Structure 1
Amino acid sequence: MRVSKWVLGMTAAVGLTFGAVGSASADGELHLYNWSNYFSPELLEKFEKETGIKTTMDNYASEEDLLAKLQAGGGGYDVIFPGPTTLGTMIDKGLVADIKVNQMENFKNVLGPFQTLSVDADRSYSAPYMWGTTGFTYDPAMVPGGTMEESWGELFKPKDELKGNIAMLNEMSDVWNAAAYYTGVSKCTEDPAEAQKILDVLMAQKPFVKVYSNDGTIDRMSAGEVAVHMQWNGAAHRVKANKPGVVYVYPKEGVTFWTDTMAVPSNAPNMDNAKTFINWMLLPENAAAASNYTGYSNAIIGSGEFLNESLSSDPAVNMPEEFADRLSGFEVCSDASKSLRERVWTKLKS
């Protein structure tokens, strides 16, 4: 059995009949705030056509930017796409609305394991969007010997030929977690000495990093601007459309398994339309369209029959069984641990 294949199989196991979402006569506006390149433009057009709701999309470069935007007043957005860490903070601060996702008509389509979340146990504030892993991708034609070890050490202690030819994500949690796995430190450590170990690794690596960026990771690898890129698996899958030979690595020290959500800011100007959108996204055909565009798996029963075959055949998406014990899921860290993480990140980026 393969982890992703299990979910893809589950989503294919149940067939559903499609109809109107119950809001086909709706109108007005909807403003989405999401990662760049993380939602299908064609799917937005379909939503507009079926509901009559005019939809716009703005993008953020990091979850820190997303949180800052909401803390500053929200920017007039109706639906956002945070990960669990940021979502938990938003719930604690009253920045997202309790929209009773678990009572929505199409919540029945959500796979059992995704009907709860550590920071939103009963799924009242959020619905699942995409899920995946964070590893790294390399181009065999650009690395010495054409292959790399399945280790974070290839990034944190790069070979001389690769110094200045690697890229990292600009996401605090992902970078911190990778360094924690590599050093053998708990990613929720409260020990300043252990946080210093993580900082030492990151500062030693920094001179060899060409760029820290969440944007353009697909284009950067496709164009050969770097040989190695810390990357989310869906982005790696999309690189393969341009460079079929690239390899996505599940490092032996640990791989972050993550999920993104859909939530509604507490001051959303179009609250009803936001609920309509989230309920609509829980339909199998729509969830599958999102997966086909992003290259990530979804959590919706019945979506499997609408997925592109290329997703299930790619090890970057359909993780081989032998890597299952490398996965490390989301953990709720203490405020003390979060503070250490933020201090390390600030020093790294200063």
Structure 2
Amino acid sequence: MKNLLSATALLLASTSFGYAEGSLQLFNWGNYTGPKLLEKFEKETGIKVTVTDYDSNDAALAKIEAGGSGFDLVVPTHQYVQIYAEKGLIQKLDLSKIPNHKNIAPEWMDVSWDQGRTLTIPWQWGTTGIAVNTSVYKGDINTSDIFLHVPEELKGKINIVPEMNDIVNLAVMAAGGEPCTEDTTILKQVRDDLIAAKPDWISMDYGATEKLSNNDWAASVNWNGSTMRVRLANPDVKYGYPKEGYPVWMDSVALLSDAKNVEEAYTFLNFIAEPENAALISDFARYANGIAGSEPFMPEDMKTAPEVQIPEEFKAAGKFIPTCSPKAQDYMTAIWTELQK
């Protein structure tokens, strides 16, 4: 998901792609598809991949639902997979065309959002937490109070990634609720906390990798892989796991129902399920992947990185966000709409 560059212009622009043999259209999060992976794929298969970026799950879903996108593959976060399926936007996979399907790690095979992995192939998984420049703020970073009750040192210096499900559910867990709650008492507190905190934020934006690295921001709600990339450029930046609860997520690749380059898409899906290639995905964006056997090919620094290897003391606080009920989604959207004003 993550460490994004805005792609609003791309999303708003009308798209007209050619469907020449040996081409593939991938719709993915910005700054999330490694050049080395694409170079290797094209060299081995002769298939040219065109990547179009998006900056949020909701933006991607809206673009696909509008129809005529021209894309073949999309990379939704886990709680959106069933939404795509129920709307008929993605198709069931022909597993006979993906022999590397067997490489999906057991813990990522029979997942609640895609039992048996008949709809998606893993891309990467990670967490949403808090990135803080510890030369600016030396207090506890493992708490959502960093953005909900901003410490004096971080006021006007903290960014919030504008991903509704992450931000609202972080606030819900901080208020003692469960993700996707319909409890209006909890949700009112969430709304009040977010509205009260907003004046202390510098922005609600993407681009944390660059802006935290350059000290333009001192903190941000951010994703773990992006934060690792920041730390490699700016060692003062550390990743906090909110003890009140934080989202754990997985992004996976799905084949769109109106895909034109179907055989090329299957070639790509099989390619990314090869352990060495899955490791190339992780090498670029710095998130773990869901392919067994990729570990020997992974970058050495990821094997001990605190952003990737969740410290034991914080593991229990991580929660997968389910696909929210329509009512819960409506409540979140109302809070988010008010927060955007």
Task: State TM-score, norm by structure 2.
Answer: 0.91
Residue 307 (structure 1) aligns with: 298
Please state if 1:39 is matched with 2:63.
no
Residue 188 (structure 1) aligns with: 180
Out of 265, 289, 292, which is 2:280 matched to? 289
In structure 1, C-alpha distance between the alignment counterparts of 2:264 and 2:125, rounded to whole Å: 24
In structure 1, C-alpha distance between the alignment counterparts of 2:332 and 2:95, rounded to whole Å: 31
Please state if 1:153 is matched with 2:153.
no
Residue 164 (structure 2) aligns with: 172
Residue 237 (structure 2) aligns with: 246
Residue 71 (structure 1) aligns with: 65
Q: Is the 8 A contact 1:100 1:125 kept in 2?
A: no
Q: Is the 8 A contact 2:176 2:186 kept in 1?
A: no
| Per-residue deviation, 1:323 | 1.4
- Report how many aligned residue pairs link the two structures: 322
| Per-residue deviation, 1:209 | 1.2
Q: Secondary structure at the match of 2:248?
A: strand
> Counterparts in 2 of 1:1-350, with a 5 A limit?
27-101=21-95, 104-143=98-137, 146-213=138-205, 215-350=206-341
Q: Which amino acid aligns with 1:227?
A: A
The structure whose RCO (Cα within 8 Å, separation 6+) is larger is 1
| Per-residue deviation, 1:198 | 1.0
Q: Is the 8 A contact 1:96 1:265 kept in 2?
A: yes
In structure 2, C-alpha distance between the alignment counterparts of 1:306 and 1:314, rounded to whole Å: 15
| Per-residue deviation, 1:74 | 4.6
Q: Secondary structure at the match of 2:117?
A: coil
In structure 1, C-alpha distance between the alignment counterparts of 2:141 and 2:286, rounded to whole Å: 24
In structure 1, C-alpha distance between the alignment counterparts of 2:314 and 2:140, rounded to whole Å: 16
In structure 1, C-alpha distance between the alignment counterparts of 2:141 and 2:99, rounded to whole Å: 47
- Residue identity (%): 37
Q: Is the 8 A contact 2:97 2:270 kept in 1?
A: no
Q: Deviation string for 1:270-303 (max 9, x for gaps)?
A: 1111111011100001000111111100111111
Q: Is the 8 A contact 1:76 1:269 kept in 2?
A: yes
Residue 22 (structure 1) aligns with: none
Q: Which amino acid aligns with 1:228?
A: A
Q: Which amino acid aligns with 2:266?
A: K
Q: State which drifts further: 169-178 or 336-345.
A: 336-345
RMSD: 1.5
| Per-residue deviation, 1:330 | 2.8
In structure 1, C-alpha distance between the alignment counterparts of 2:332 and 2:251, rounded to whole Å: 21
| Per-residue deviation, 1:27 | 4.9
- Structure 2 regions of 5+ residues with no counterpart? 1-19
| Per-residue deviation, 1:247 | 0.9
Residue 4 (structure 1) aligns with: none
- Structure 1 regions of 5+ residues with no counterpart? 1-25
Residues 74 and 265 from structure 1, CA distance in 2 versus in 1: closer, same or farther, beyond 3 angstroms?
farther
